[in-house]
């Protein structure tokens, strides 16, 4: 089987294209795609427990720690002990972080709006159904790999 015939090749290629496009925009604001995703996953009002951010965006704790440190150094976030669970730390957005989060949000919306204009709704519906099924197969270990 050639790579162009594999499902994962097309998913990975599309994701890398999207990621590069987001990075082009993010770099204009001194940011990265990853930083934008982290900011988007921090609750504006309540903050978010550190341990909930990584799983929500599929990021390992080592990488998340590094990104959070960078965001904190750049004045976009601050950390605070959770008032309800003293063992936990919550991450909050500063005003700068809220501004960067809004830019990230608008970037995601703009890219999605443009794709939705270019791709007919029926094809998008099929795409979402197929992606959902692929995720379910993976999550439920329905795919047995025999070599």
Residues 65-109: tens digit of each pLDDT: 999 999 999 999 999 987 777 788 999 999 999 999 999 999 999
Residue 124 in domain: no
- Cα three-residue angle 59-67-77, rounded to 5 degrees: 115
- Residue 41's domain is classified under what CATH number? 1.10.10.10
Residue 122 in domain: no
Residue 127 in domain: no
pLDDT at 40: 97
pLDDT at 59: 87
Judged against a pLDDT cut of 80, whether residue 129 lies above it is answered with yes
Q: How many helices (H) and strands (E) does the chain have?
A: 6, 3
Q: Stretch 115-133: mean pLDDT, rounded? A: 97
Residue span of the structural domain in which 95 resides:
3-116
- Which tens digits make up the pLDDT trace of 12-60? 999 999 999 999 999 999 999 999 999 999 999 999 999 899 888 888 8
């Amino acid at each position: 089987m050639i790579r162009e015939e594999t499902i994962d090749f097309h998913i990975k290629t599309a994701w890398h294209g999207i990621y590069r496009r987001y990075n082009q925009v993010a770099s204009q604001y001194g940011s990265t795609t990853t930083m934008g995703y982290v900011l988007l996953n921090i609750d504006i009002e309540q903050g978010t427990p550190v341990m909930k951010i990584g799983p929500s965006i599929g990021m390992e704790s080592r990488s998340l720690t590094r990104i959070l440190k960078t965001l904190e150094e750049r004045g976009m976030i601050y950390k605070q002990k959770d008032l309800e669970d003293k063992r936990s730390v919550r991450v909050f957005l500063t005003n700068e972080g809220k501004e960067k989060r809004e830019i990230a949000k608008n970037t995601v919306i703009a890219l999605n709006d443009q794709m939705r204009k270019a791709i007919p709704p029926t094809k998008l519906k099929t795409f979402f159904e197929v992606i959902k099924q692929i995720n379910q197969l993976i999550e439920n270990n329905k795919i047995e790999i025999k070599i």
